[in-house]
Structure 1
Amino acid sequence: MASTDTMRRDPYPTRVSDTPQLLERQEPTTRGGVDDGPLGQDALEAFERDGYLLLPDVFSPDEVAGIRARLDELAADPAVRADERTITELESDEVRSIFEIHKSDPQFAKLSADPRVADVARQLLGSDVYIHQSRINVKPGFVGKGFWWHSDFETWHAEDGMPRMRCLSASITLTDNYPHNGPLMVVPGSHRTFVTTVGQTPADHYKASLKKQEVGTPDHDSLRELIVGQGREIRQLTGKAGSVVFFDCNIMHASSENQTPFPRSNVFLVYNSVENAVEEPFAAPTRRPEFIAATQWEPVPRV
């Protein structure tokens, strides 16, 4: 049930107190070794230390062009726009995200199993993996809004029932990411601290939060302590299309709105360990829909 269920120990209690806390992470970030996948020791240590890893030029320009062409087709399809899995911008009604893309489209199903991505996820998580969530994020020029600071795990724990921090996202960049078109911003090392949030989760919270998240986001004082108080920095993850950013489920991240003519689009594939399957939500009255948080799953096939 929700987090008031005293029969279940919750190592990361959130949305249950009026006072936010900064809690220490209770499990390792990197689970596999150099013999378990394509990453070398330096890359594994970087992911453990920073909570993210940027790999440039993973996909060729031709591959990126093919993925972007399919994205444009989907975003323009009236049937896709009318689907509940498609989220539009709050003000402009432009497509913001398309969820469960690995199930609805064969091209993205193939992409989710691509060993250049899936093998890295298996190595970092130390097990077979499944797709907890997939989505295309579209940030059009001029009208693309940002995402406020948050830890994905806070939401996935509170609303989806993900028990432990054994999950990561792979962001495949489909457009060049510049400092000025709203790139992903991360706080290196913040994955080692869990920031609890205040406020109870409303019923059907996902309907509002996917357009603009408020419940489940950290307060200003907690962010100040996490970044300034603990001597951390903020990095913008810029680079060419075709790069892949792997980032831990608990790293604090955000992106600003896009006020330029240059769009920023990417594919997000959330890989969760098969040993970390979701339970009942820890701090929500009901779980989110299947297209946002998978409860029916099977391991990503090895290619």
Structure 2
Amino acid sequence: MTTLDTQTTDRYRTRVADRPALVERVEPTVHGGVDAPGLLGRDELAAHDRDGFVTVPELLTASEVATYSAELDRLATDPTVRADERTVVEKSSQQVRSIFEVHRISEAVAALVADERVAGRARQILGSDVYVHQSRINYKPGFGGGGFYWHSDFETWHAEDGMPAPRAVSTSIALTENFTHNGCLMIMPGSHRTFVSCVGETPAEHYRESLREQEIGTPDPDSLTTLADRHGIAMLTGPAGSATLFDSNCMHGSGSNITPYSRSNIFVVFNSVENALVEPFAAPAPRPSYIAAREFTPV
């Protein structure tokens, strides 16, 4: 593992009042380079470098989608899983919103996470061995599945988990069709090259509320407007079985789902083994390991 560069980590110190809101990123965003060998082609790696994300239209087959959809249904209705602290429910409906560390709860999901189609693409982008920083299922049922406000994952992972630099990639695998109207993922293309610092002291055990509805650690409206004006907003739609890989510093979010059409996905975050977590940069204590792993064994 590499030695921490304090000049690098200090660029991303956050949740204090006297920092500029926008900091331009200097690290590479495709750490393996656009010619890195692997399942992603040069054009796809170049798109990820330019936009901060790349889509894979048919990561899973139809039969695999059916298998994993059945597994998600089983987990959502299992009373033992429901009672587990790794399960998060919606504030209003009390329906299951997310199940964390799902690759340790489900053997089927564990196999998918380790699949070369998934982990291999992460290694290619990050240019190193990778470990699972976080895994979860996101459920967004019809008629009320809650949204996720605009945020950069890295801001939270840096402030609350101690991730030194934005050298992680998220893979969102759709198990239902993603329409523009059922709360699809939205990303500001190119926003991964600008870090948005947030203000506000992080309360102890903030994760208990933020996983249901995040308020602290969200960007200010002026910064969001600047990024949206600069980059626009991409609505990422696609059939079940498609996937999106996106940089940890992308500004992204999703709206609530008031349609009859549910949206669910398997979400896996791979971090470089050279970017392992240290102490949080703006929180009194680390979040639980099921949210931010502190076991760095490569996949």
* Structure 1 residue 8 displacement after superposition: 9.8
1:15 equivalent in alignment to 2:18: no
Aligned to 2:106: 105
**What are the superposed Cα offsets for residues 110-135 of structure 1, whole Å, 9 maximum, x if unpaired?**
01011111111000000000000000
* Structure 1 residue 9 displacement after superposition: 5.3
- SS at 1:217 equivalent: coil
- SS at 2:231 equivalent: coil
- Percent identity reads 60
Inter-CA distance 275–179: structure 2 relative to 1 (3 Å threshold): same
* Structure 1 residue 11 displacement after superposition: 2.0
Which letter maps to 2:54?
L
Inter-CA distance 105–284: structure 2 relative to 1 (3 Å threshold): same
Q: Distance in 1 between matches of 2:10 and 2:289?
A: 23
**What are the superposed Cα offsets for residues 35-86 of structure 1, whole Å, 9 maximum, x if unpaired?**
4311111111110000000110111111001001000000001110000000
Aligned to 1:114: 115
Which letter maps to 1:31?
H
Q: Distance in 1 between matches of 2:19 and 2:42?
A: 40
- In structure 1, list runs of 5 or more residues that go unmatched: 1-5
Pairs within 5 Å for 1:182-197: 182-197=183-198
Check whether the contact 2:189–2:233 (CA below 8 A) recurs between aligned residues: yes
Aligned to 2:237: 238
Q: Distance in 1 between matches of 2:291 and 2:37?
A: 29
- SS at 1:36 equivalent: coil
Aligned to 1:26: 26
Pairs within 5 Å for 1:222-301: 222-228=223-229, 231-300=230-299
- SS at 1:261 equivalent: coil
Inter-CA distance 20–257: structure 2 relative to 1 (3 Å threshold): farther
Which letter maps to 1:103?
R
TM-score by length of 2: 0.95
**What are the superposed Cα offsets for residues 217-267 of structure 1, whole Å, 9 maximum, x if unpaired?**
001111111221xx2110110010000100000000000000001000000
- In structure 2, list runs of 5 or more residues that go unmatched: 1-5
Q: Distance in 1 between matches of 2:84 and 2:18?
A: 37
- SS at 1:10 equivalent: helix
Q: Distance in 2 between matches of 1:119 and 1:78?
A: 34
- SS at 2:212 equivalent: coil
Which letter maps to 1:173?
A
- SS at 1:39 equivalent: coil
Aligned to 2:207: 206
Aligned to 1:80: 81
- SS at 2:11 equivalent: coil
Aligned to 1:3: none
- SS at 1:48 equivalent: helix
Check whether the contact 1:131–1:294 (CA below 8 A) recurs between aligned residues: yes
Pairs within 5 Å for 1:51-200: 51-200=52-201
How large is the RMSD of aligned CA atoms in angstroms?
Answer: 1.4
**What are the superposed Cα offsets for residues 168-189 of structure 1, whole Å, 9 maximum, x if unpaired?**
1000000000011000000000
TM-score by length of 1: 0.94
Which letter maps to 1:153?
F
Aligned to 2:3: none
Check whether the contact 1:20–1:198 (CA below 8 A) recurs between aligned residues: no
Q: Distance in 1 between matches of 2:236 and 2:85?
A: 30
Inter-CA distance 9–177: structure 2 relative to 1 (3 Å threshold): closer
Q: Distance in 1 between matches of 2:126 and 2:285?
A: 28
Report runs of 4+ in structure 1 exceeding 6 Å deviation: none
